[in-house]
Amino acid sequence: MTNPLLTPSALPYSVPDWAAIKPEHILPAAREAMDDQRAQWKGIATNPEPATVENTVVAFDKSNDVINRALAPAFTLFSSIGGPELEEIQATLGPELSEHTNAFWLDRRMFERFNSIDLGDADEETRYFVEDTLKKFRLKGIDLPEDEQTKLKEIDSELSRLEILFSQRATKAMDDNALIVESREELAGLSDEQIEGYKQEDGRFRLPLLNFTNQPLQMELTNPATRRALLDASLSRGLGDHDSSDTRQLVVDIAKLRAERAALLGQPHHAQVVAMKGMAADSQNIIDLLTSVARRAVHAVDRERSELMTLVDDDEQGNDLQAGDWTFYQEKLRGQVAVDDAALKPYLALSNVVEKGIFYAAEKLFGITFAPRPDIRGYVDTVQTWEVFDESGEAIGLFQADFYARKGKSGGAWMHSLVDQSRRAGTKPVIMNNANFEEPPAGQELLLTWDQVETVFHEFGHALHGLLSDTYYVSTSGTAVPRDFVELPSQLNEMWAYHPEVLAQYAVHHETGERLPGDLAAKLSASKTFGQGFATTEFVASALLDQAWHQIGAHEVPDPTSIEEFEEKALKDLGVYHELVPPRYRTAYFKHTFGGGYDAGYYSYMWAEVLVADIEQWFASEGAQKGDGGLNHEAGETLRRELLSRGSSRDPMESFTAVRGRQPRAEALLERRGL
């Protein structure tokens, strides 16, 4: 039978034919695609002709076409659907893919061909692609002797297996650690609809967990015992209460293997290996940035605690303040000095945030428009699809969104590409955003919190990076940039959520059609820096925890029962420990780092935010026209031409300076956060 993961899709934009794709197609397709790619690699490596751009660089880029077609839908199903069958397939495939990619990066013949290409007449994108590829060869161990390369392959294969298992267990931990509540009285503060939604068949109530530490329900629960119990349930994930989601041994094994891998590569620790791949270049630069911000943030937490205590003292239910109470009282204070979610939510319908928020800002900045394509289906019925048009009317790609949570789906929110843009391949992008919002009853609008609104804008910033890509190679397309640069477009796009003109479009009462009152809009704008001591400390604690685990040697990794002690000591030593502010992610459920992808790289959100803060200031100054805050086509076109369209076609700092006109100022980050 024809495998739909290997056959070019006949659907518009080559979007996957989800109705035809079954789990049993994945492993055969992936293995055939790997065989096909290795055959192409062998042809390149053994070509008797001298290496040229066409017979080496272009040929290598072409070798990705079949395997991308097979794997993009597969990994979409792994993350967005999940479940035991897909998890087993992913666990099998991961080590095989690791071995496959190492076959390229540890092939001396391939390295020598890239290294011998005459780049004299090459264009900027090709030149940077070749230089970046040679750098990756060296960082991946091409210069190691054969026996050490063999060891490296073994480590990479085992790491792939362990990281997949960690991610699966961390997802399972959200289910295992859901808080069970006996009575409705314990859920005071929640609406009747919410309470009924959490009710089980046995009459008890089950409060689900989201992937980060502090849970949104803590802001609503008026019973302090319940909100504290909810935080405790969240914090204890992966620490052995449930065998099915115990991640402690996995953490230790992963940390040791990464340390051993770094030693093989001649580096002091894994954090240095990662830093060398990005803009940071050196891990000490990362520590310097994070600790300098941490000092300011922890001091701000103490100031914020004093403000919260005025509310705690007036509370009839007790005058102590525990970690589980912080966001509850912070939300009450927000209602006094800024604007709280209870007042905002009626004005924040998801459909408006999307179609009159992110789409409106994108049209004003880049001239692109979005038309619904209900005929193009997703892997579940709730996936929505829009066709994207340039200002000339030319169709440039598809945007799809899967906003709702489901059992088995990975936590959090993310963007990924189903089809990459490439002039060489003649492909237009198909870009997806995923989130984990609670699906509303049929026929009802989903009303968002402000944090969720920012999430929609954030992930759409990544989507724009993919949709507006204009590169020749697939390998340099869209978000294929250094990890500490990739968060720039996403964080930058958050600024438009606050822009008065954009806000006036999407912040409309879901029942009356009334626009968000002026006083609330003004408070919202003023609230950008509200609670930033807490928010920054929460983030930096996780980023420094990530660094701590990856700046040690294999012999320094603690045993599984000492993970919590290691965590507390690291946070205290790095000056970011605060008893009322747990890290946004603790070690045992920190999927960014132990699930792979952001290992020793969680700092990149803050590194990129330095660049974001500086470009935000550019929009408000040089990019602005007649007081519009930069919401105009000229400013948007500059950002699109010099940064969003470039992918990895040149050094990312060149793209930044092409917009800003100079190097970034680290102080801009502190100014952005009000610190």
| Band of residue 18 on the pLDDT scale cut at 50, 70, 90 | very high
Within-domain flag for 76: yes
Write down the pTM of the prediction.
0.90
Average pLDDT score over the chain: 95
pLDDT in tens, 109-156: 999 999 999 999 999 999 999 999 999 999 999 999 999 999 999 999
- Do the beta carbons of residue 190 and residue 259 sit within 8 Å? no
Q: Which CATH number goes with the domain that contains 524?
A: 1.10.1370.40
Instruction: Note the pLDDT of residue 61.
Output: 98
In a domain, 312, yes or no: no
Tell me: do 458 and 358 sit in the same domain. yes
What is the residue type of 7? T
- Spacing of C-alpha 513 from chain mean position: 33
How many other CB atoms are there within 10 angstroms of residue 154's CB atom?
15
Taking residues 406-432, what's their average pLDDT? 96
What is the rounded distance in angstroms from the CA atom of residue 495 to the CA atom of residue 330? 22
Q: For position 64, which CATH number holds?
A: 1.20.1050.40
For 287, the token pair is 């520590």
Q: Write the CB contacts of 312 (distance below 8 Å, at least 6 apart in sequence).
A: 318, 319, 320, 321, 325, 329
Quote the tokens at residue 202. 């046995």
H-state helical runs in 403-531:
450-467, 487-493, 495-498, 500-506, 518-526
Total structural domains within the chain = 3
Rounded to 5 degrees, what are φ and ψ at 88? -65, -40
Rounded to an integer, the average pLDDT of 68-83 is: 97
Radius of gyration of the chain (CA): 25
Judgement on whether residues 423 and 465 belong to the same structural domain of the protein = yes
Domain end, chosen from 143, 166, 190, is at 143
Q: What is the pLDDT of residue 316?
A: 59
> How sure is the predictor about 613, in pLDDT bands with cuts at 50, 70 and 90?
very high
Instruction: Tell me: do 352 and 492 sit in the same domain.
Output: yes
Residues 72 and 203 in one domain: no
pLDDT at 419 over 90: yes
Q: Please tell me whether residues 136 and 184 are part of one structural domain.
A: no
Single residue among 243, 264, 290 that ends a domain in this structure: 243
Give the pLDDT of residue 340. 80
Q: Are residues 369 and 468 in the same domain?
A: yes
The answer, yes or no, to whether residue 27 has pLDDT greater than 90, is yes
Does any domain span residue 549? no
Helices and strands (H and E) in the chain: how many: 28, 7
CA distance 3 to 9: 11
Q: How far is CA 606 from CA 230, 300, 488, 541, 567, in A?
A: 28, 18, 9, 12, 21
Q: With respect to residue 490, please indicate whether it lies within any of the assigned structural domains.
A: yes
Identify whether 296 is part of a domain: no
pLDDT tens digits for range 443-497:
899 999 999 999 999 999 999 999 999 999 999 999 999 999 999 999 999 999 9
- Convert the pLDDT of each residue in 340-378 to its tens digit: 888 899 999 999 999 999 999 999 999 999 999 999 999
Report the distance separating Cα 607 and Cα 289, nearest Å: 8
Question: How do residues 225-276 score in pLDDT, each as one tens digit?
Answer: 999 999 999 999 999 999 999 999 999 999 999 999 999 999 999 999 999 9
pLDDT score recorded for residue 248: 98
Under the banding of pLDDT at 50, 70 and 90, the label for residue 319 is low
The reply to whether 123 and 181 lie within a common domain is no
Q: Which 3 state secondary structure label does DSSP give 180?
A: strand
Please name the amino acid found at residue 72.
Answer: A
- What percent of the chain stands above pLDDT 70? 99
Residues annotated as part of the active site = 459
Per the DSSP assignment, residues forming a β-bridge with 369 are: 389
- Give the integer Cα–Cα distance in Å for 49 and 55: 8
| Residue finishing a domain among 512, 529, 546 | 529
Does 123 reside within a domain?
Answer: yes
Question: What is residue 337's predicted lDDT score, i.e. its pLDDT?
Answer: 79
Q: Return the H-helix or E-strand segment holding 361.
A: helix 359-366
Q: Say if residue 112 is in the same domain as residue 191.
A: no
Amino acid residing at 92: T
Q: Tell me: pLDDT of 1 over 80.
A: no
Statement: residue 425 has pLDDT above 70: yes
Structural domain contains residue 647 = no
Least confident of 37-51, 160-174, 319-333: 319-333
Show the DSSP H helices in 367-449 as ranges.
Answer: none
Residue 317 is predicted with a pLDDT of 60
Residue 579 falls within a domain, yes or no? no
Same domain, 109 and 202: no
Q: Per-residue b/e over 216-234, b at no fewer than 16 CB within 10 Å?
A: bbbbbbebbebbbbbbebb
Cα(463)–Cα(416) distance, integer angstroms: 8
Q: Quick one: DSSP state of residue 24? A: G
Whether 354 and 469 share a structural domain: yes
pLDDT over threshold 90, residue 307: yes
For residue 67, what are the domain limits?
12-143
Instruction: Give yes or no for residue 335 having a pLDDT over 90.
Output: no
Q: Are residues 504 and 449 in the same domain?
A: yes
Percent of the chain at pLDDT exceeding 90:
93
Mean pLDDT, range 21-46, rounded to an integer: 98
Residue 188 and residue 85 share a domain: no
